[in-house]
Structure 1
Amino acid sequence: MNRKKFTILGIIVVLLLSIGGYMTYQKMKPKPYKEVAAEAKTDSFDSEEELSKASNVIVIGSLNKRGQSQVDRDTEGGVLAVYRMSDFKIAQVIKNDTNKSLAEDTIIPIYENEGHDEKTNTTYHVAGYEKMENNETYMLFLTYDPEDKYYVPVGVNYGKMNVDSEKETELYGDDSDNQEEEINKVQEEALDTYKEEIKEVENQ
């Protein structure tokens, strides 16, 4: 009788351990990676002139250090915002209508509308934004708010352009072709308007 009880208890313990182990594995196993184009209302522009006017800072330079992803959540754990604060090294200042001193080699924080949520293993591209890449030169059209102390590309995607005219802005998402065309048209104008400044940077 005792042997039967021990056998049954042993089976129950093994079952409980197996169920517990499986549940722990389900919680701990890596979640499948996802990429999401998060919709967002953004400003749009019809010309380089409009874009330049909306910017209080215009600079040329490159990514100095990619920032870590930041995720803001509500009280229930829902995602409110995903972004990264990247360091950008200035090669030339084209416009500066702020009270901040900007010059060659100044490093400024740029709010990038893309980031990775480790909790769900999901990368969010706000309005289809793609992060800046290393070893690329960008012209940024920015707004700066002294209260925030960081710089934001105007119109999210309009204000970040690769100075290599062969590398047009590409947005993440399936329904972005028309928007890409509009953005690249304005950016092409901007690259032409500031072509002399771009040449100076390329010749440094």
Structure 2
Amino acid sequence: MGDLILYGHPDSGHSYKVKLALTVLDLAHEYREVEVFAPRDARRADWREVSRFGEIPVLIDDGKAIVQSDAILLHLARTRNALGWEVDPDRLTEWMFWEANRIGISLPNLRLCKHFEQGGDAGLIAWLEGRLQADLDRLETVLAGQPFLMGEAVSAADLACCGYLFFADQVDLDLVRWSAVSAWLDRIRGLPGWGHPYDLMGAR
């Protein structure tokens, strides 16, 4: 495998998913921060050249740019035969699509409304909170019977689904109601290479 370069930002849970995967896999890489609060045409030129959709994260692997966090996680799992790919690629892919459609929508957008915008439409916030509760209920059901989403070992599904939960304090989310989810997050914190987003990608 060639050199790895990750473009991301400390406030991006999607970037964090990939950064965490790289550290858990102990893959040497260069991290380049992209200033996402600047207009896109004012952001670093090398990122604009490789970011097809104008978003972060972007991973450069052996000269090839891969975009979209879950696609990057699946790429890492497949090319390294790790993080659940070696167990059941189809089941892993199912989880990644679930994350993208469920908690990957509810929690980041709730955080946008409550933390960055500090307000917004009350009806939208209530809808996002209800959706997030349903997503956590689903994770709770699965994790009540096994340590990780794919069974006994951590997978890319865990790294995808946990990413924004480490920003839970920014949406006033108390996870005490979801004891299995809380225990799962503690197991992820215990992984070699784990760090909080602001520790792995630079404090803001």
Q: Which has the higher contact order (CA 8 A, sep 6+)?
A: 2
The verdict on a shared fold, with TM-score over 0.5 as the criterion, is no
Q: TM-score, normalised by structure 1?
A: 0.26
Greater helix share, structure number: 2
Greater strand share, structure number: 1
Q: TM-score, normalised by structure 2?
A: 0.26
